[in-house]
């Protein structure tokens, strides 16, 4: 399935014919890796991202005894760009993982209490692995879309805690593969990156446009258009008026992006086994 490019076309024109607020076509496919709890692949122009989610049992953190938690790992494949050879992609991988921790570090993104099995003793830990297969600009947006799609696709086995007469607890996993917990991703934000080029700002910048931009604003936006966090990147400066305008654009574009993604995910799921799978090697 393909998300249509966000259309807020003004009279401005970019090299590839898009307006300032237009995304390239986004291709989304879920359930692409068989040995995961959930997975998704997203292609945004020449940017290609694969995300796998693995649910494993762990111990709740001391400060949050009745919640599970998410762990993020980002692998910048050397085949994505020559810059990632050796340890070249490590810094970027850490930066992306830290950004993901930030946007998920609030109670409204994911209900982590649903991941708790037994307070202070057992919980589900979701290991979210992000693999960069190809870099064609606008990495953060593509990764946030892929993470949301993979979490939507995630199915966690339902478990029961059985206690015997002596007070010792036993955990029983359901044998039924359809008896599972689904996470609500309604409040999971997507990142909208706005690149300042000259006196204007653009969304979904290509590599060439990113090279022309001295400063960018990463805006984490929910489906209701609420900004949950922001981050400025690049060596250039941004004046308060520009930041306000970029935030407003981010909210507007983010709401359309969420709506398109949700409709694609629900449509794909409604097809069930009938849908044609391409797979990440397709």
| Residue 3, pLDDT score | 45
Query: What integer best gives the mean pLDDT of the chain?
Result: 87
- What is the percent of the chain with per-residue pLDDT over 90, rounded to a whole number? 60
Residue 4, pLDDT above cutoff 50: no
Q: What are the domain boundaries of the chain?
A: 17-274
| Residue 68, pLDDT score | 93
Q: Which of 12-16, 199-203, 260-264 has the lowest mean pLDDT?
A: 12-16
Q: How far is CA 68 from CA 12, 40, 105, 228, in A?
A: 46, 22, 13, 21
Residue 5, pLDDT above cutoff 60: no
- Condensed to tens digits (0 to 9), the pLDDT of residues 90-131 reads 888 899 999 999 999 888 899 999 999 989 989 999 999 999
| Residue 6, pLDDT score | 32
- Condensed to tens digits (0 to 9), the pLDDT of residues 33-42 reads 989 999 999 9
The average pLDDT across 194-223 equals: 92
- Residue 215: pLDDT band with limits 50, 70, 90: very high
- Condensed to tens digits (0 to 9), the pLDDT of residues 60-88 reads 999 999 999 999 999 887 777 777 776 66
- What is the model's pTM? 0.88
- Condensed to tens digits (0 to 9), the pLDDT of residues 219-250 reads 999 999 999 999 999 999 999 999 999 999 99
17-274 has CATH 3.30.70.120 classification: no
| Residue 2, pLDDT score | 46
The average pLDDT across 179-183 equals: 88
| Residue 282, pLDDT score | 46
| Residue 1, pLDDT score | 54
The per-residue DSSP string of the chain comes to -EEPPP----S---TTS--TTPPPPEEEEE---TTSSEEEEEEETTEEEEEEEEEEEE---TT-TT--EEEEEEEE-TTT-GGGTTTTTHHHHHHHHHHHHHHH-STTTS-GGGGEEETTTEEEEEEEEEEEEE--S-HHHHHHHHHHHHHHH-EEE-EEEEE-TTS-EEEEE-S-TT-EEE---TT--EEEEEEEETTEEEES--HHHHHH-SEEEEEEE-TTS-EEEEEEESSS---HHHHHHHHHHHHHHHHHHHHHHHHHHHHHHHHGGGSPP--TT-
């Amino acid at each position: 399935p393909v998300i249509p490019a966000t259309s807020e076309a003004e009279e401005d024109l970019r090299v590839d014919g898009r307006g300032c607020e237009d995304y390239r076509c986004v291709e989304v496919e879920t359930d692409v890796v068989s040995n995961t709890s959930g997975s998704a692949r997203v292609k945004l122009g020449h940017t290609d991202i694969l995300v796998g989610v693995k649910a494993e049992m762990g111990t709740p953190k001391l400060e949050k005894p009745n919640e599970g938690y998410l762990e993020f790992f980002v692998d910048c494949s050397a085949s994505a760009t020559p810059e990632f050879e050796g340890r070249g992609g490590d810094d970027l991988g850490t930066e992306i993982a830290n950004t993901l921790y930030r946007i998920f570090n609030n109670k409204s993104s994911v209900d982590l209490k649903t991941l708790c099995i037994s307070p202070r003793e057992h919980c589900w830990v979701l290991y979210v692995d992000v693999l960069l297969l190809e870099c064609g600009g606008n990495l953060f947006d593509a990764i946030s879309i892929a993470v949301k799609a993979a979490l939507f696709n995630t199915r966690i086995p339902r478990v029961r805690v059985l206690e015997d007469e002596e007070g010792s607890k036993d955990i029983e996993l359901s044998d039924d593969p359809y008896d599972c917990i689904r996470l609500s991703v309604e409040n999971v934000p997507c990142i909208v990156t706005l690149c300042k080029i000259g006196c204007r700002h653009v969304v979904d910048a290509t590599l060439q446009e990113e090279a022309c931009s001295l400063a960018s604003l990463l805006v984490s936006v929910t489906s209701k258009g609420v900004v949950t966090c922001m981050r400025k990147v690049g060596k250039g400066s941004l004046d308060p008026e520009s930041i306000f305008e970029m935030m407003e654009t981010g909210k507007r574009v983010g709401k359309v992006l969420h709506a398109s993604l949700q409709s694609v995910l629900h449509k794909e799921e409604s097809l069930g086994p009938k849908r044609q799978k391409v797979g990440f090697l397709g």
